[in-house]
Amino acid sequence: MSVPQPAIDRDRFLRLAIPFEAGLVLLAVLWAWFWGYSLADMLPKPGSGVLWGIVATVPPLIGLVIVRAIPWKPLRRVGKFLTGVLGPALAQCTLFELAIVALLAGLGEELLFRGALQPVLGLPLASVLFALAHSITPTYALLTGLMGLYLGWLAEASGTLWVPIATHALYDFIAFLVVIRDVRRTTADALSEPFPPGAPPTA
């Protein structure tokens, strides 16, 4: 039987997430330098790349809706983790803080996995590493690996990292809001439950 993990508070979440995601940018630059190529070549002016990235967010969001509707225990386990462990911290963040974390995740992770690793290791292996880096549960790792394949394909098809960066960042921001909605709904349901028989009301 798995031991329930404690929820993360807002301050700890931000202290961990922001430096970690920003650090991935430095790691990506060092990796690219070691292999003798420049990430700047994959980052022309944002322009249409960001716009296409926003449009490209639609398929994974549709996938999110479908996955949430499937009554499969491993998927429910992922939802419980996100709501119970990460959700309380997200619910305490401002929209600006959520946007910063999502933007840094899109920038840092795409520069590393699609910009630095994919040109050297190839799309499949870079996606596997992306999945392993998100292996909260095997099911979550699988879903993340599929997302990595999609983001990697966007990078190759568009010829610019701005497309997967925008897609990743916007998807994460919307997913944060979905988790927050689940947290608030769960809290409201718990508060509306009647007292068990014989239990004295609390003051």
Question: Any idea which residue has 């994460």 for tokens?
Answer: 172
Q: Buried b / exposed e across 116-135, counting CB within 10 Å, b at 16+? A: bbbbeeebeebbbbbbeebe
Q: Rounded to whole angstroms, how far apart are CA atoms 189 and 203?
A: 19
pTM strictly above 0.75: yes
Q: How would you classify residue 122: left for phi > 0, otherwise alpha for psi between -120 and 50, otherwise beta?
A: left
Q: What tokens appear for 164 in the block?
A: 């997967």
**Residue 185: φ, ψ to 5°:** -65, -45
Q: Could you tell me if 142 and 131 are in contact, meaning their C-beta atoms sit under 8 angstroms apart?
A: yes
Q: Rounded to whole angstroms, how far apart are CA atoms 116 and 31?
A: 6
Every domain of the chain and the residues it spans = 10-189
Q: Which residue type occupies 70? A: I
pLDDT tens, per residue, the chain with 203 residues: 344 567 788 999 999 999 999 999 999 999 999 999 989 999 988 888 999 999 999 999 999 999 999 999 999 989 888 898 899 999 999 999 999 999 999 999 999 999 999 999 999 999 999 999 998 889 999 999 999 999 999 999 999 999 999 999 999 999 999 999 999 988 776 555 555 555 544 44
Q: Is 202 exposed, middle or buried (0-12, 13-18, 19+ CB in 10 A)?
A: exposed
Q: Rounded to whole angstroms, how far apart are CA atoms 151 and 109?
A: 11
Question: Any idea which residue has 């974390």 for tokens?
Answer: 101
- Give residue 87's Cα distance to chain centre: 13
